[in-house]
Structure 1
Amino acid sequence: MALEVGSIVEGTVSGIAKFGAFVELPENKVGLVHISEVANEYVSDVAQYLKVKDTVKVKVISIDAKGKIALSVKQAQPKTEEKKEARFPKKEGSEHRFQRKEGFEGRAPLHEAPRMTERRPFAGGYRSQRHEAPASFEDKLNRFLKDSDERLLDLKRNVESKRGGRGGRHSD
């Protein structure tokens, strides 16, 4: 029987390397199981999972033009559907993660985000800015132009103060 891509065959581990394991297949062919195809979990050492002369079922992933055969142990195993709920069971009462505490009667409901003040850096120091409702494109553009003009003015003042005033070079 000729090896075909996608077929599952049995083979014997003939060698172990840092990057994977060599498996001897029927018809005296040898294929490589890359370290990433050894198990469904992270594998740092192939020797922890496979030993020389172990008999393993492997799936043929690819056969290139030179005859190199790529194999997979993890793809040859039957798929186990593991549901998310089985791995992370719900705790009782976890449906209501956020509850209103006493003393917050006059405040906004939890689903409304409070307005926050953010400190943003600019050339002259820090500036506080309140988050408001989403602005239109024109408002954003005007704010950007205003901020960039202020930054350029601050930069220009800083450079001129280091030069010594309005003039460029002074001749003595």
Structure 2
Amino acid sequence: MEYEVGTVLEGKVTSITKFGAFVALEGGKSGLVHISEIANTYVNDVHDFLQEGQDVKVKLLAIKDGKLDLSIKKALPAPERPAQRSFQPRPAAAPRPAAAPRRPAVQAADTTPSGDLAFEDKLKQFLSSSERKMADLNRNISGKQGGRRRR
């Protein structure tokens, strides 16, 4: 029997594995239903959804090197979505109380009168901290590479 991708077929579960289930189809062929194609929900254990010998409807997803990829969840009718709620504005809420005043931030010694570091000062701080970190990293790496000699 010639199978076409997208057709819905009847089959019987012949064996169950941890990654899916094998289904025997009419015509002597069998295919795999991967665990991700068993149900529309998360499947931790295939045995929770299928038993050996169970009749199932499957949809043929693909034929690769003579192997049939099947899906049970795509053979089922699409699950109903909950009805969309119409937009209803919320009633006006009472005004929120004012937030507590913030304390002024502590200023660094090398700040401009506005309290912000100038861009050049920020850049210098970043470069110096970056160079320190790189030096530490290189020191740690070079200490671990020693001990081997070439022949």
State the TM-score, normalizing by the size of structure 2: 0.64
Q: Which residue of 1 aligns with 2:7?
A: 7
Give 1:100's aligned residue.
94
Greater than 2 Å deviation, 4+ residue runs:
94-104, 142-146, 150-156
Residues 20-169 of structure 1: pairs in structure 2 closer than 5 A: 20-65=20-65, 67-83=66-82, 85=84, 95-96=89-90, 99-101=93-95, 103-104=97-98, 144-152=119-127
Q: Which residue number corresponds to residue 144 of structure 2? A: none
Distance 1:149 1:8, change over 3 A: same
Q: Deviations over 1:95-122 (max 9, x none)?
A: 4388333655xx8xxxxxxxx99x8xxx
Structure 2 unaligned regions, length at least 5? 106-114, 132-151
Q: Aligned pair in 2 of structure 1 residues 83, 147: CA closer, same or farther (>3 Å)?
A: same
TM-score after normalising by structure 1: 0.57
Q: CA deviation at 1:148?
A: 1.2
Q: How many residues get paired?
A: 120
Alpha-carbon distance change, 18 to 145 in structure 1, aligned in 2, over 3 angstroms: same
Q: In angstroms, what is the RMSD of aligned CA positions?
A: 3.7
Alpha carbons of structure 1 residues 96 and 150: separation in structure 2 relative to 1, 3 Å: same
The Cα of 1:152 is off from its aligned counterpart by 4.4
Matched-pair identity in %: 38
Is the alpha carbon distance of 1:97 and 1:151 closer, same or farther for their aligned partners in structure 2, counting shifts above 3 Å?
farther
Q: Tell me how far apart the structure 2 counterparts of residues 154 and 43 of structure 1 sit (CA, whole Å).
A: 49
User: Aligned-pair distance for 1:13?
Assistant: 0.4
The 1:150–1:48 alpha-carbon spacing in structure 2 relative to 1, beyond 3 Å, is closer
1:125 is aligned to: none
- DSSP-derived class of the 2:27 partner: helix
Is the alpha carbon distance of 1:50 and 1:98 closer, same or farther for their aligned partners in structure 2, counting shifts above 3 Å? farther
Which SS does the other structure have where 1:9 is aligned? Answer: strand
For residues 10 and 155 of structure 1, the distance between their equivalents in structure 2, rounded to whole angstroms, comes to: 65
Distance in structure 2 (CA, Å) of the matches to 1:38 and 1:155: 52
